Amino acid sequence: MIKVYGSVFSRAGMVMLALEELGLEYESVDMLPRSEQTQSDEYRALNPTGKIPTLVDGDLVLFETQAILYYLARQYGEGRLWAQTPAAEADILRWSLYISNQMEVPALDMLIQFKFSNGNPDQAVIERATAELTRFMPLLEQQLDGREWISGEQFSIADIHGAMVLSWPKLGGFDYSAYPNVHRWIKSVLSHPAQKRLMEKAKGG
């Protein structure tokens, strides 16, 4: 059985969402980022970075969230979460990488300020992150105009990764009112049936 290391409320949740969407059985080993578990010799033998998530599927041990999502879509998707042509595949990768390369760092900065500042976020960090997100958000807003999903006509790994990453700044106070298409897209992924199943499992349902 596939095994996923990490918390549903971390990047590992993106992997679990893909597994839910594909209808695959899996075991989750709950551990938080930067926890003692991630620094153990046993875990570092699987993932030398000491970060999460890590996926184990038979003899395959894989880390890095987007690589795991790609593997699951290609190995088990049978067309789901992926695309049918090289051009469409490249488009999925384009938008995944756009968000990863241009927006993930400021999104994470805002999340960290929300979670670990004890209610006193560093305003310089918030302002810098807001400026970076504001710089790159308009192109995403344009891409999502009239589209349900970020690339092509079906839910893909680009939606899982991208919308989850961009849900972080909202917790940190980022105002999405100027980007209604992006906001709608994020809410669509967060309310996706596979995500609802995952949250029910997380609550012990």
What confidence tens digit (pLDDT) does each residue in 89-136 have? 999 999 999 999 999 999 999 999 988 888 888 999 999 999 999 999
Q: In this model, does residue 169 exceed pLDDT 60?
A: yes
d(CA 190, CA 132): 23
Q: What's this model's pTM, rounded to 2 decimal places? A: 0.94
Q: Which residues contact 106 (CB under 8 A, 6 or more apart)?
A: 128, 129, 130, 132, 133, 169
Q: In this model, does residue 191 exceed pLDDT 70?
A: yes
Task: Tell me what the pLDDT averaged over the chain comes to.
Answer: 95
DSSP 8-class letter at 90: H
Q: What pLDDT was estimated at residue 5? A: 97
State mean pLDDT over 40-52. 94
d(CA 180, CA 15): 26
Long-range CB contacts (< 8 A, 24+ apart) of 144-148?
144/181, 144/182, 144/184, 144/185, 145/181, 147/181, 148/185, 148/188
**Tokens read off for 164:** 């989850």
Share of the chain above pLDDT 70, in %: 100
DSSP 8-class letter at 39: G
Give me the residues paired with residue 55 across strands. 4, 62
Backbone angles phi, psi at 42, to 5 degrees: -60, -45
